[in-house]
Structure 1
C-alpha cells in the first residue's frame, strides 16, 4: 500500500494567468527579471549625428522624455581643470568612494532607518530602480561615446580603476537620483507620516545624499561634473517613469533636454525647488546648460500591475502596516 493512500489526488485550482498575485511565490531574481522586461519593452531611443547636434533621445511608447546632447571635446578639457580642486577631498571620502563602487543602497537606507527585516520590498523597489536606470545609462554612454577624465588630463590620477565604458552620463549619478526621486514619491504618498519626521526635510536629505554619491565619482577622478548633470537628468526621468508605472499619484514625466556648459554640479541648482533662497545665478533650471524642460505635454505612462504590486508592498512597509 502506498503511503499517500489510494485514489486520485485532489486537484488544486489553476493559478490565474498574468496575475500579480502570483508574484509573492516567486524568487526575488524572477521578479527582478519581470520588472526589467516590463520596463525595457516600452523604452526606445534614437541618435542624432548631424553636425553640431549630436544627441541621444529616449522615448516611452514614442513620446520623447529626455534628450542628452554630446558635449564638445573642448568642454571636457575645461572640466579637467575643475576636477583638480576635488582631489583634496580624497582623504576624507576614500572610505565612502570604495563602498559606493556598486549600488550604494545603504546610504539611502540609513537616512530613512530602513532595514532588510522590515523593508524587504522597499529594498526591492530601490534595487529595481537602480538596475533599470543603469541599463538606460549604458545605452546613452554607448551612443554618446565620451572619453573618461584620465584620457584627457594627466593630472587627474584616479584613485580607483576607471570603469571600462564611456563617461557621459554618470551612471552612479543617474542611479542615485532615480532612487531619490522614487523615495520622494514614497514619502509623499504616505504623508502625513506618523513614523518619520518632516517629509520635506527627509526629501532634501535624500537628494543631498544623491549629490554626495555623484560628486564622489568626481572626487575619485572618474567623472566630470557635467557627467553628474546628465546623470541626474536621466535618473530623475527614469525615477518619474518608475513612479508612474507604480501608479503613484501626482507624478508627471516631464520631457527634458540637457546640453552641458562648463559649470560645477550642485543639487541646489538641479532641484532649486527644494532649496529656496539659493543664489540667483542658479535659480532658473531652464537656462541654457541646465536640464531644460521641453515645451509640450507630459509623457503618458500606463500603470503596470507588476510595479503597482511592488509599490503597494513598499507603502505598507512605510506605513508599518
Structure 2
C-alpha cells in the first residue's frame, strides 16, 4: 500500500491527479478586505509564504500607459504570443536540450509545476478581482481574446517563474555531472525566458507589468514548495510580500543575484514592492514520496549511463 513505485504503472493523467491532490491538501489561503486594503495570503501548514496586496485603481490607470508603450512590439513577437497561449513547455525545453523521448519525466515535472501554479493563481485572481487593461484603457486593443478571469496576478508569469525555479533546482542537482554545461549560465537563460513569456502578455495587451511582478512572486514561491516536496537539497521556501509600485517588470530586478553587477537599489523593496524574508527560517515543507519519485526519475534522465 502507498508505495510510490506503483506510480510507474499508472497513466500520466493519474499521476497528475495525485500530484495535484498532494499539493492542494496542504495549501490554505485567506482573503482580507478590511480597511479598504485588499490582500490575499497563502499558507502552507499554517506559515504564510505569500501575501499579495490589491493595487489601487489609480495605480492600474497609471500602468495603462506602460501597456500602450509595449504595443509597438506586437509585430515581431506575434508568433511567440500565439504559441504561448497554453503551457509553453517547449520554450524552456530548447534551452536545456530536452525532448519527449529522453526526458518524459522532466516534462512531467514541468507540466505538474505549471498546473499547480495555475490553481494557486486562479485563487488569487478570484479574491483580488482586478480588471484587465482593456477594461481600463480603450486604446489598449488586445491582439488576442482577453481571458475570462481577473488580471492580477498574471498566471503566465506565475507558471513561467515557477518552472524556472524548479529548473534552477534541477540544474543545481545535476551540476556535479561534468558532461552538463554551466548550470549558472543556463539558469540565467531560463529566467530570461520566463521574463520574455511574462512580458509577451503585456505586449499582447493582456496584463499590466505589476501583474507580472505578482505572478513572478507567486510562481517563485510555488516552485520552491515543489522543490521542497521533491526533497531537493538546499532549497528554502522564503516568505514574501508584494505591494505593487508603478514600475515596469524586469527579471534583473526580480532576481538580481543571478546578474552580478546589478546595483543594489535596483531590487530595493521600496522601488519594486517585493520583499522577501531571506533571513528567516523559511516555511517548513515535508518531502512527499510522490514528488520524490518524480524528482528521482527526472534526475536519472540527465545521467549518461
Find the residue that maps to 1:287 and give its secondary structure. helix
Q: How far is 1:288 from its partner? A: 5.2
Find the residue that maps to 1:65 and give its secondary structure. strand
The counterpart of 2:231, out of the listed 243, 247, 251, is 247
Measured in 1, the distance between the counterparts of 2:135 and 2:303 equals 49
**Which position in structure 2 is the counterpart of 1:73?**
57
1:173/1:235 contact within 8 Å kept: yes
**Which position in structure 2 is the counterpart of 1:206?**
190
Please tell me the root mean square deviation across aligned C-alpha atoms, in Å. 1.1
**Which position in structure 2 is the counterpart of 1:293?**
276
- Assess, with a 3 A threshold, how the Cα gap between structure 1 residues 251 and 280 changes in structure 2: closer, same or farther: closer
**Which position in structure 2 is the counterpart of 1:191?**
175
1:259/1:288 contact within 8 Å kept: no
* 1:57 matched to 2:49: no
Give the number of the structure whose alpha-carbon radius of gyration is greater. 1
Measured in 2, the distance between the counterparts of 1:125 and 1:131 equals 10
**For residues 191-241 of structure 1, what are the alpha-carbon distances to aligned partners after superposition, in whole Å with 9 as ceiling and x for unaligned?**
123332211100000000000000000000000000000000000000000
**Which position in structure 1 is the counterpart of 2:299?**
315
- Assess, with a 3 A threshold, how the Cα gap between structure 1 residues 68 and 283 changes in structure 2: closer, same or farther: closer
**For residues 272-307 of structure 1, what are the alpha-carbon distances to aligned partners after superposition, in whole Å with 9 as ceiling and x for unaligned?**
0001112454143x3354320247431000000000
Measured in 1, the distance between the counterparts of 2:166 and 2:223 equals 5
**Which position in structure 1 is the counterpart of 2:130?**
146
How many residue pairs get matched?
304
Measured in 1, the distance between the counterparts of 2:223 and 2:204 equals 26
**Which position in structure 2 is the counterpart of 1:4?**
none
Measured in 2, the distance between the counterparts of 1:53 and 1:320 equals 54
Find the residue that maps to 2:152 and give its secondary structure. coil
Measured in 1, the distance between the counterparts of 2:116 and 2:166 equals 13
Q: TM-score, normalised by structure 2?
A: 0.97
The counterpart of 1:267, out of the listed 242, 247, 251, is 251
2:59/2:246 contact within 8 Å kept: yes
Q: Which runs of 5+ in 1 are unaligned?
A: 1-16
1:270/1:290 contact within 8 Å kept: no
1:225/1:264 contact within 8 Å kept: yes
Measured in 1, the distance between the counterparts of 2:150 and 2:89 equals 23
Q: TM-score, normalised by structure 1?
A: 0.93
Structural mapping, 1:1-321, within 5 Å: 17-284=1-268, 286-287=269-270, 289-294=272-277, 296-321=280-305
Q: Which runs of 5+ in 2 are unaligned?
A: none
Measured in 1, the distance between the counterparts of 2:259 and 2:273 equals 16
